[in-house]
Structure 1
Amino acid sequence: MGDVYGQPEAVTALHQVVRDLEEWRAGRLDWNEVTKSFLLAGPPGTRKTLLAQALAGTAGITFVKTSYSDCQRYGHQGDFLRELNASADRASAGAPCVWFLDNIDSFHRRGQLVSGYMIGVINGLRTLLDRLSATEGVILIAATNDVERVDRRLSAPDGTSTRFDVSL
């Protein structure tokens, strides 16, 4: 992450994750003590994806990236969810790794949902995030251009669902 400039808070937080991963791999830190989920927020072009890639590269771990549009190209809801879950399977199999969800705001908030398709997609994402959150060795990172559009149950620590613990 030495090549990332201009985002000192994010870089500092992600360097801590690298140190935590080293301690976890050495057996000196329990997995539930590692800060393992982040929501990177900022306008397009602020290098959110680069930060996630830099974390994986610096830590020497696998990087798995997906997004709403990556999954949407597969079509119907079942195909969409199959691809979303396939990315999670790649992350679990490659652990330790970073699972990166770009443009999480594309998934809409519950109040914006008008179709059963989108409700099913959001529920599928919540289930997937719960599964990945419980998987030792998986760091969850999501990126958004618009934090207000992210479903609060995906991004806020309300205790009832997986969430992104640190917003950068």
Structure 2
Amino acid sequence: MRRILLLLALTVFSVPQAFAQQAPGGRLGTGLPVPRYVSLKTDRVNLREGPSKDHRTAWVFQRAGLPVEIVAEYETWRRIRDSEGTEGWVLHSLLSGRRTALVMPWAKGDVPPIPVLNSPTDKSAVVAQLQPGVITSIRSCDGTWCRVVIVLERARDVDGYVHQDKLWGVYPNEKVE
């Protein structure tokens, strides 16, 4: 009897996650493709161990606009992954379809700044330099270059082009319009 209860408990608590990850075509919740990139809507987003408020909060994100990848859906919950590979569940209402990207979050140590250019060619003028970890807004991507905007306080926003492979928040060769 004890074994049956344990199996029943394991089934009840693991069904949502297992079902969400095995949904045919990745279209369980919204009908949108899974995986896909989105961003955090607010400065405080609880990352939970499972798809309900009853599950323990494993992490709290504190950076609105941070890009995350939706890797599964279950009802109003989205399983997300951040740039460091951390995964967990968040309410869909805490996510935005606004596309953002992180500049080279994988870079360690002394890395030269990434140039933002005034046109999508390596020979164009540099309009800014970005350190790894800076959040950019994605305006468009052609598969090689992304047009990005960086909002600066007390200064003019930076608008220019960055090599797509220097950004986390867009897939290789992805086109964004």
Q: Give the TM-score taking structure 2 as reference length.
A: 0.25
Greater Rg, structure 1 or structure 2? 2
Question: Structure 1 or 2: larger helix share?
Answer: 1
Q: Give the TM-score taking structure 1 as reference length.
A: 0.26
**RCO higher in 1 or 2 (8 Å CA, sep ≥ 6)?**
1
